[in-house]
Structure 1
Amino acid sequence: GWPPLLAMCERGAGGGGTPVADELEAALAVILPAWPHDLPRGHIHADLFPDNVFFLDGRLSGLIDFYFAATDLYAYDLAVCLNAWCFEADLSFNVTKARALLAGYGTRRPLAPAERAALPVLCQGAALRFALTRLYDWINTPAGALVVRKDPMDYVRRLRFHLSVRDADAYGF
């Protein structure tokens, strides 16, 4: 669904041709042909951001917002988490957080070699997804709406990082 979403953003922004739209279009051209289709899949949350996860006494106590839950690649859910939890306020990637996240994940469900190899493109796709949905909301949220728009550039910057990654070792393996 990413190409149609980008097209809707371009129409809403007056027909596209903006530097951000061009950058996202170029990213799509890299990500879609490389997207894995044969990795382990099952039920995923697909939106495990810090504001959807609750802790009590240092332990996970609850998850909310299952709107995007789906049957999809398990490693894609991990890629969403790397995007949501492992970047600092200045949008630099925190490899220490990523290493801890990956190690914790691996204690419950070790990644298969193919999942590990696909992690860069999965992270690219996750960053692209949130850049696109935020861009769509940025363009289409009516004045006076009781929602807080989120800056799509935060995820464009994450996408740039992931596009620069050569292999999964950059994530702290």
Structure 2
Amino acid sequence: MAVYTEVSAEDIESFVAEYGIGEVLSFKGIAEGVENSNYLLQTDQGSFILTLYEKRVDADDLPFFLGLMEHLAGRGISCPVPLHARDGKALRQLCGRPAALVTFLEGLWPRRVHTFHCAALGGAMAQMHLAGADFALKRANALSVAGWRPLLESCRARADEVKPGLAAALDAELTQLEAAWPKDLPAGVIHADLFPDNVFFRHERLSGLIDFYFACNDYFVYDLAICLNAWCFEHDNAFNVTKARLLLQSYRRERALSGEELAALPLLARGSALRFLLTRLYDWLNHPEGAYVKPKDPLEYWKKLQFHQGVRGPGAYGLDL
């Protein structure tokens, strides 16, 4: 989350008046994340999140995102729920941007990941995958393997400014992944961005999942691969096999993983590392002026990619097969 579009008090009050959620008491920008402009809004009836969707988000995808949150909440998944205005619409316009109000979730995201966080996450992710099985809308993953080559080409000329030889190394890795990427694994709705700042906890209990704006249809095990990278490496980039084991075991208690999914996990973990390396590299080289948020270091994911390149099977992630 971040703030790219400034909104006046008058604009906020006019927008909120269409929802019947009381008088606006305060609002402030949330300076985390990279995609949209977000405000924490307080009225005399409660707290809400106001999101203005920036140009990087395809407006045609917004019914999928908002509809998915409503669907998952209706299936018992704790996540933000879009509010509908008096005209019945959840998606409206504010300051020339598509905008929506969603409910506020209580909790804090873990600044330091512990083993109990990983255990809770695995089960919650599996429940989310199962809950999304009957969601009618579809959205292809624009940031899966077919989307990585254009990203690499857009960064190639300056990639070596970040690390000498990086462009050639990424090209070689992507060529291997394109040739070996699996074609027929169990798939459905995935979150695709379940980083620690998108998972809330109250004490040691997971209280909710947020930020579904990368959600799409893809392999379930790819969602797990993303979380191995986001949750199971320490600050010195050492892989924590205990965290990985707890994450995967708790997932499997809710949804079984096939032998094909387990065999594909190391390759998908490499792919996940490359995907976030490339998007971070693009943001690093094309940082928008005036944004409150600083771009994240792409080389963090270079180190994670190197770890997965050395993995020979899912046992390296702590699983007893």
Higher relative contact order (CA 8 A, sep 6+): 1
2-side partners of 1:114 and 1:136: how far apart?
Answer: 32
User: For residue 215 of structure 2, what is the amino acid of its counterpart?
Assistant: A
Residue 55 (structure 1) aligns with = 201
2-side partners of 1:96 and 1:14: how far apart?
Answer: 35
Residue 166 (structure 1) aligns with = 312
Q: Of residues 153, 157, 167 in structure 1, which corresponds to 2:299?
A: 153
Residue 79 (structure 1) aligns with = 225
Deviation at 1:144, TM superposition (A): 4.0
1-side partners of 2:233 and 2:302: how far apart?
Answer: 13
Q: Of residues 277, 283, 286 in structure 2, which corresponds to 1:140?
A: 286
2:159·2:281 contact (CA, 8 Å) conserved in 1? no
1-side partners of 2:160 and 2:199: how far apart?
Answer: 37
Cα distance per residue 1:61-93 (max 9 Å; x no partner):
111111110000000000000000000000011
Q: Of residues 143, 147, 155 in structure 2, which corresponds to 1:9?
A: 155
Q: Which runs of 5+ in 1 are unaligned?
A: none
User: For residue 169 of structure 1, what is the amino acid of its counterpart?
Assistant: G
Residue 97 (structure 1) aligns with = 243
Residue aligned with 2:207, SS: strand
2:160·2:167 contact (CA, 8 Å) conserved in 1? no
User: For residue 29 of structure 1, what is the amino acid of its counterpart?
Assistant: T
2-side partners of 1:110 and 1:14: how far apart?
Answer: 42
Residue aligned with 2:188, SS: strand
Higher helix share: 1
Residue aligned with 1:42, SS: strand
Q: Could you state the TM-score of these two structures normalised by the residue count of structure 1?
A: 0.94
Cα 1:116–1:145 change in 2 (3 A) is: same
User: For residue 189 of structure 2, what is the amino acid of its counterpart?
Assistant: H
Q: Of residues 188, 192, 198 in structure 2, which corresponds to 1:42?
A: 188
Residue aligned with 2:217, SS: strand
2-side partners of 1:13 and 1:156: how far apart?
Answer: 12
Residue 112 (structure 1) aligns with = 258
Runs of 4+ deviating beyond 3 Å: 11-15
After superposition, the CA RMSD in angstroms is 1.9
Q: Of residues 228, 252, 275 in structure 2, which corresponds to 1:129?
A: 275
Deviation at 1:33, TM superposition (A): 1.1
1:42·1:74 contact (CA, 8 Å) conserved in 2? yes
User: For residue 304 of structure 2, what is the amino acid of its counterpart?
Assistant: R
1-side partners of 2:244 and 2:168: how far apart?
Answer: 29
Cα 1:96–1:13 change in 2 (3 A) is: closer
Q: Could you state the TM-score of these two structures normalised by the residue count of structure 2?
A: 0.52
Residue 95 (structure 2) aligns with = none
Q: Which moves more between the two structures, 135-144 or 90-99?
A: 135-144
Q: Which runs of 5+ in 2 are unaligned?
A: 1-146
Residue 26 (structure 2) aligns with = none
Residue aligned with 1:54, SS: strand
Residue 141 (structure 2) aligns with = none
Q: Which moves more between the two structures, 155-164 or 53-62?
A: 53-62
1:45·1:70 contact (CA, 8 Å) conserved in 2? yes
Residue aligned with 2:206, SS: strand
Deviation at 1:56, TM superposition (A): 1.6
1:12·1:140 contact (CA, 8 Å) conserved in 2? no
Cα 1:13–1:172 change in 2 (3 A) is: closer
